Amino acid sequence: MVVSPLPRSPFAITTLANTVELGRSPQRDSYVERRNRVRRVYCVFVVLACGIPAWSQSTAEIRGRVQDRSGRALSSAFVLLTAQDTSLMRAATSDDTGEFSLPSLPVGVYSLQVKADGFADFDSTNIRASIGEVIRLNITMATPGSSSHALDLGMKSLVEAGDAQLGVVRARAK
């Protein structure tokens, strides 16, 4: 073994093949580096694996528009959605264009109530939300004297996305 006249650090010994710091070996360094690299890859894998279920959640969304008989948008209408099996309640208020949105709803059957100042309350039941479905509701509110409300389901999908059978087509709700 040959000792270098000017070592690189106070604890370094230079040999013909390489420089080794006392207490550390090249084999240990490569082991530590490999272990750290494996840990980093494992952490990235865990983060990605935990994020995938969040992207593929089994939720639905209900969007809609509240209007009067003439088609004029009703702003500040209170929309209350209640799950019929779990009694989960979600609320929204229509904006200046009469639009409202209830995102990230668990799959299930819901009842809907809409209240607006100067109009009779609107109630609807058996609104079925399936996996990945976006339900579009157009609600026409009636004046307090008349009792005829209208609910248009818009362009609701005819394919049942939450059914385990492929190719099942459901009838359009009327």
Residues 114 and 140 in one domain: yes
Nearest to 61 by CA among 152, 151, 140, 157: 157
Res 31: pLDDT: 76
The overall pTM is greater than 0.75? no
18 assigned to some structural domain: yes
Do 135 and 90 lie in a common domain?
A: yes
How confident is the model over 72-98, as pLDDT tens digits? 999 999 999 999 999 999 999 999 999
Residues 130 and 156: beta-carbon distance below 8 Å = no
Quote the domain boundaries for residue 36.
Answer: 12-55
Same domain? For 23 and 69 the reply is no
Find, among 99, 92, 168, 160, the residue nearest to 132 by Cα.
160
Contact (Cβ atoms closer than 8 angstroms) between residue 130 and residue 60: yes
Residue 39: inside a domain, yes or no?
yes
Could you tell me the pLDDT band of residue 48, with boundaries at 50, 70 and 90? low
- Taking CA atoms, 161 is separated from 153, 154, 157, 169, in Å, by 17, 18, 9, 10
Give tens-digit pLDDT for 91-117: 999 999 999 999 999 999 999 999 999
